[in-house]
Amino acid sequence: MKCRNCKSQLNHQFADLGSTPLANSLLSSIKQLKSEKHYKLKILICNKCWLVQTLDQVKHSKIFNNDYVYFSSFSKYWLNHSRLFVDKAIKNFKLNENSFVVEVASNDGYLLQYFKNHSIPCLGIEPTKNTAAKSEEKGIMTIKEFFTESLAKKLRKKKYLADLIIANNVLAHVPDVKDFVKGFALLLKSNGVACFEFPHLYNLIKYKQFDTIYHEHFSYFSFISVNNIFKECGLKIIDVEKIQSHGGSLRIYAQRKDNSKIKINNRVKNLIDFEKKNGINNLKLYLKFQEKIDGVTNKFKKFIHKASAENKKIIAYGAAAKGNTLLNYAEIKSDVIKYVVDLNPSKQNKFMPGSGIPIFEEKIIKEYRPDYIIILPWNLKDEIKSNLKYVRNWGAKFVTAIPKLDIS
């Protein structure tokens, strides 16, 4: 396979997580488990442009289809994070009734609703129809398509030029990342700003977050690799912030390269230097990762099989995609984890892909009184622990596997 960005031949492996079904394709019946399609989950590293990328296996449209089950508005954390971002953006970029804001992968309108509250015109672009429908119910104009260079051209012709384009947690989801990024240069006004958030590869490696690897994520970005891509797509990164989401993400701001008034914050150079110092441009860092994955997985397996042998009642919380990567790589099934609880009604009464563990609503916890609750979306563990405080009444404990086994 050739690099998605620079087209060099990919010769080095970052991670091999075996063969798994798609992490977001929940089963509606346990009978489907037998006929489930598995795909290799192998991740490669380009030693020319340093883009970490999934072996090309699965079509984009197979993943982000109309049964897509991730609704951003189910997490209070995300809603709050988005509201704070919107307030900051309005102030920093002096947005008002005459501005125009576009969000790519606008999901159910979880973020744009706050611009709408301030009467700032906005447009969502969201290919999954069920989430887009929710966004339209909130009164947000939404185009139900994948964002591409060609869609950006069409919008530009219609004079839909943006003062601000937001694309949070979507860069990784795009197979042709260059075509995608080029679209931003086309859709921005000459002084407009594009803002992206994505999990920082530095943290994925440092905190062993290998469960964030699944087929839905085609690329994993360091700041160095994202700089390499943007440069070639007509954008210049002008600033960067470190933020807490997804176990440590970057928020980057970019402008059109042809904007003559660009001022680049020192943070940009500092982060590139930091990454170089930490080996992001050195193959050695990547070749050591599989060993870390196996270390984390083995500790988790040992704990869970021991607890199960002692007849402890074990359940999991959060039918998140990352949970499926962990459970499937650790080969844990419903004989050990009895069920997963999730607040999202469209996930309830379905089954986790690969493991076949059923998904139920939260009220079952009070009847079942589990001994251990494995929190699969560890990035939301504080919110989850505080919502489930009542399990302490019968002495239940919370478990997270990453970055290291934690039982508390």
Q: Which residues bind Zn ion (CB under 5 A)?
A: 3, 5-6, 8, 46, 48-49, 51
**What residues pair up with 372 in beta bridges, in sequence order?**
314, 397
Task: Indicate the residue among 5 and 379 with the shorter CB distance to Zn ion.
Answer: 5
Task: Indicate the residue among 49 and 237 with the shorter CB distance to Zn ion.
Answer: 49
Task: Indicate the residue among 114 and 220 with the shorter CB distance to Zn ion.
Answer: 220
Distance CA 275, CA 282 (A): 10
Least CB distance to Zn ion at residue 53 (A): 8
Distance CA 15, CA 17 (A): 6
Residue with token string 């991670």: 15
Task: Indicate the residue among 42 and 350 with the shorter CB distance to Zn ion.
Answer: 42
Least CB distance to Zn ion at residue 8 (A): 5
Task: Indicate the residue among 7 and 392 with the shorter CB distance to Zn ion.
Answer: 7
Q: What's the farthest any 2 CA atoms get from each other in the chain?
A: 67
Least CB distance to Zn ion at residue 100 (A): 34
Residue closest to 105 by CA, chosen among 169, 198, 161: 169
Task: Indicate the residue among 22 and 171 with the shorter CB distance to Zn ion.
Answer: 171
Q: Where are the alpha helices (DSSP H) in 105-176?
A: 112-117, 129-137, 149-157
Least CB distance to Zn ion at residue 281 (A): 12
Angle, helix 149-157 to helix 177-187, in steps of 10 degrees: 20
Task: Indicate the residue among 72 and 222 with the shorter CB distance to Zn ion.
Answer: 222
Least CB distance to Zn ion at residue 340 (A): 37
* Angle (CA) 329 364 379, round 5°: 45
Distance CA 64, CA 217 (A): 11
Contact between 243 and 327 under an 8 Å Cβ cutoff? The reply is no
Task: Indicate the residue among 3 and 63 with the shorter CB distance to Zn ion.
Answer: 3
Least CB distance to Zn ion at residue 275 (A): 16
Distance CA 112, CA 213 (A): 28
Distance CA 363, CA 222 (A): 41
Task: Indicate the residue among 54 and 325 with the shorter CB distance to Zn ion.
Answer: 54
Task: Indicate the residue among 114 and 180 with the shorter CB distance to Zn ion.
Answer: 180
Contacts of 111 (CB under 8 A, 6+ apart): 72, 82, 85, 86, 103, 166, 168
Distance CA 396, CA 391 (A): 6
Task: Indicate the residue among 47 and 65 with the shorter CB distance to Zn ion.
Answer: 47
Least CB distance to Zn ion at residue 10 (A): 8
Least CB distance to Zn ion at residue 48 (A): 5
Amino acid identity, residue 283? L
DSSP-based three-state secondary structure for 276: helix
User: Strand runs (DSSP E) across 284-385, as ranges?
Assistant: 314-317, 340-341, 359-360, 372-375
Least CB distance to Zn ion at residue 178 (A): 11
Least CB distance to Zn ion at residue 117 (A): 42
How many CA atoms are closer than 13 Å to the CA of 248, on its beta-carbon side?
A: 15
DSSP-based three-state secondary structure for 346: coil
Contacts of 346 (CB under 8 A, 6+ apart): 69, 71, 130
Give the tokens for residue 42.
């192998």
Least CB distance to Zn ion at residue 63 (A): 22
Q: Where are the alpha helices (DSSP H) in 264-315?
A: 266-277, 283-287, 289-309
